[in-house]
Structure 1
Amino acid sequence: MIAYVILVYIAVYLSMLLGGIPGLRVDRTGAALLGAILLLAGQGITEQQALNSIDVPTLALLFGLMVVSAQFQLGGFYGYVLQRVVLYDMAPATLLAAVIALTGALSAILTNDVVCLAVAPLLSRLCLNKRLNPVPFLLALACAANIGSAATLIGNPQNILIGESLQLSFNRYLLIATPPCLLGLALVWWVIVKVYRDQWTVAPGESSPSEEPPFNRWQTLKGTVILLLLVVCFMFAPWPRELLALCAAGVLLLSRTFYSRSVMGLVDWPLLVLFISLFIVNEAFQLAGGMDWLMSHTAAAGISLSEPVPLFVGTAVLSNLVSNVPAIMLLLPVVEGSSMGALLALSSTLAGNFIIVGSVANIIVVEAARQVGIKISFRTHARVGIPVTLGSLLIAGGWLWLVT
């Protein structure tokens, strides 16, 4: 039975590396779900053990924040703000700085994947309509979304998981993570300006109409008030973050304007299924003694993941191999206490800019660009992503060494 569990575990994480099951239309979420089903059906883990392994507070917090983000998307907030920024008469380098600052700020409180999903299609069309080369601005969107999301414990799924699992202080993490993230955003601007300094414009093309929801001032104001109250409560209230997020979601679902099914349609259900499935797969592996075996062999090779430097580097590398959420789920069982929480969050998130498949935000932006005829190849992304990743990781690593 132990061999069976380990075999399924290896197959699941291999599919994380390959982006799914080769030859089948099964993505990472589908592969993880199949792995959990195989373990339950083959009695590699009992139903009760599987239920106990699921971190309900993490899922509740993630779901609540998705509903809050959906309020802004349905209210046309993203389109309204982006049009005001992009259509304003300013130099391309200045506009690039504005896009980076806006993306970084929104991603810190509304999750990076949602921001990219809402902004990327409209940003592509606005740039083309203004005869600007959309590629540097889309690359800025992806990189800034990843870096900005690292600034808070609610900016991306892996930070939510780390914060809930290790019971990190929202305020303390914010103080630690904000400086390297701000420097990282400045680095994104500098790298893109250097790479695209003579490639800001494109030939005139056919205008593309906007497909964004109309701006609803009242619904946007409602979402803004709820979000601000939620963040203030995260910072100062003693109540569990997941309950606060669920309460915020409940208030927003009480609407005379948006059908609840419209809001629910914007929730990333596959991501929630991925979390549940990986909780089960990792628990089965740990119960089978696989994690103890893995740690003993890692230590025998001279790599101690209990030390900051090996953990920081290992997290960055693993995040690019299997994606950041699976990487964090793999590493959390070997992390003791909350002292390594900021290290895990910053390393896994900042590493996502290295290659296109390093983060879901990158994939969303590239796919949105492709749908309007803009090609962003691995090489194109790497010209910006690699120096941004190495530079931001170096900044974060140096900052963590100074403050911890």
Structure 2
Amino acid sequence: MLPTVAIFLVTYLGVALGHIPGLQLDRTGIALLGAIAMIVAGAVSFPEAVGHVDLPTLILLYALMVISAQLRLGGFYTFTAFRISHLLVRPRFFLFVSMATSALLSAVLANDIVCLAFTPVLILSLNASRLNPLPYLIGLAVSSNIGSTATIIGNPQNMLIGQVGRLDFGQFIGWCGPPTLVALAGSYLLLCGLFRKEFGRRETAPDPMPILQALPRFDRWQSVKGLVGVGLMLGLFFTPIPRELSAIAVAGVLLCSRRLKSREILQLVDWHLITLFCALFVIIGSIEAAGAPSLVLTTLKRVGIDLHDPTTLSGVSVVLSNLVSNVPAVMLLLGSLD
């Protein structure tokens, strides 16, 4: 068990630091090295390593990336952000609409893509209106993260929790939707209070032409095609059909295009994130097989820390997520509580 635990601790320390001094390794590279070390050290065999990878979760994640790429290449995200920019004549209302829009899109699509697509449009529009971009960019970051927590497919860690826990899509929204709305409203009011001096009414909206010229071309057909795919996928999520099967089927249909090359779509798939998932599955599976999580849980319980208590689990997850980031933290906790 000792080599396995040592590899695990070194890997998670590297993930927490985000890099290894002297090497050009990020969190994904560190996790991949950890998985390789587990195999080389004999902590897990190749067949066992493959068995530790949760394929349904990876398929769901991959399919959602393909669907999101369809909308991104169609210019849907940037077009949506541009359409709400005319509300800059009422800055406080613009903040509300932009936060609500990013939260809604992040709930059904990848929140990182929403941020990447919205940010340039916001900056161009805000600069043209001579508004301080800070409250609006903070609002975008906060709302996209909050909105992504409302559904199982809003972010990678939710997908992992939903797939491993076999959680019902509709019930998950019922559980997480209300607190998401409360958090979103609270963050909006907090930003309005903190930046109240920034929300003076403007009489003119920014000139749209320079903004339009700087944005990717909007393709109505590709965007509608992507939105229909999203709607179909969400509808299938409320049926007994496995989520990963529904999502990958929709992704496969979207790949059948006469205009968009499949290479262009697949280039937008976050292969680093998929690699991170695979590596962490191997690492957590190896440490579970060694019996370390149960030993840690028993020890923690003796000192009064019970991870099966919701309050304690919430606190630990907050700390871990900030130390090693969300996905590694969730994988570790799921492995410990399984």
Verify same fold: TM over 0.5.
Answer: yes
1:229 corresponds in structure 2 to 232
1:123 matched to 2:126? The reply is no
Counterpart residue identity of residue 306, structure 1 = H
1:96 corresponds in structure 2 to 95
2:63 corresponds in structure 1 to 64
Alignment of structure 1 residues 278-317 onto 2, 5 Å: 278-317=280-319
| TM-score, normalised relative to structure 2 | 0.94
My pick for the range that moved more, 116-125 or 316-325, is 116-125
Alignment of structure 1 residues 326-341 onto 2, 5 Å: 326-336=328-338
Counterpart residue identity of residue 160, structure 1 = M
Alignment of structure 1 residues 3-402 onto 2, 5 Å: 3-200=2-199, 211-235=214-238, 237-336=239-338
Distance 2:234 2:211 in 1: 37
**Cα deviation, residue 130, structure 1:** 2.0
Distance 1:52 1:210 in 2: 49
**Cα deviation, residue 185, structure 1:** 0.8
Distance 1:299 1:121 in 2: 49
Q: Kindly provide the CA deviation profile for residues 228-262 of structure 1, in whole angstroms up to 9, marking residues without a partner as x.
A: 01101102x21110011100110110001111111
Residues 107, 148 of structure 1: 8 Å contact kept: yes
| TM-score, normalised relative to structure 1 | 0.79
Distance 1:85 1:320 in 2: 33
Distance 1:37 1:334 in 2: 22
**Cα deviation, residue 23, structure 1:** 3.0
Q: Kindly provide the CA deviation profile for residues 27-53 of structure 1, in whole angstroms up to 9, marking residues without a partner as x.
A: 100100011111112212100110000
Over aligned residue pairs, what C-alpha RMSD do you find?
1.6
Counterpart residue identity of residue 268, structure 1 = D
Counterpart residue identity of residue 216, structure 1 = D
Residues 121, 211 of structure 2: 8 Å contact kept: no
Distance 1:199 1:25, change over 3 A: farther
Counterpart residue identity of residue 331, structure 1 = L
Give the ranges of 4+ consecutive aligned residues of structure 1 lying more than 2 Å apart after TM superposition: 87-90, 207-212, 333-336
Residues 107, 148 of structure 2: 8 Å contact kept: yes
Q: Kindly provide the CA deviation profile for residues 74-123 of structure 1, in whole angstroms up to 9, marking residues without a partner as x.
A: 00111111111012353111110011100000000012112112222222
**Cα deviation, residue 213, structure 1:** 1.8
Mark the runs of 5 or more structure 2 residues left unpaired by the alignment.
201-205
Residues 320, 329 of structure 2: 8 Å contact kept: yes
Counterpart residue identity of residue 223, structure 1 = G
Residues 133, 200 of structure 1: 8 Å contact kept: no
Distance 2:23 2:180 in 1: 38
Residues 125, 210 of structure 1: 8 Å contact kept: no
Helix, strand or coil: the match of 1:24?
coil
Mark the runs of 5 or more structure 1 residues left unpaired by the alignment.
337-404
Counterpart residue identity of residue 252, structure 1 = L
Helix, strand or coil: the match of 2:70?
helix
Count of aligned residue pairs for this structure pair: 330
Helix, strand or coil: the match of 1:88?
helix
1:375 corresponds in structure 2 to none
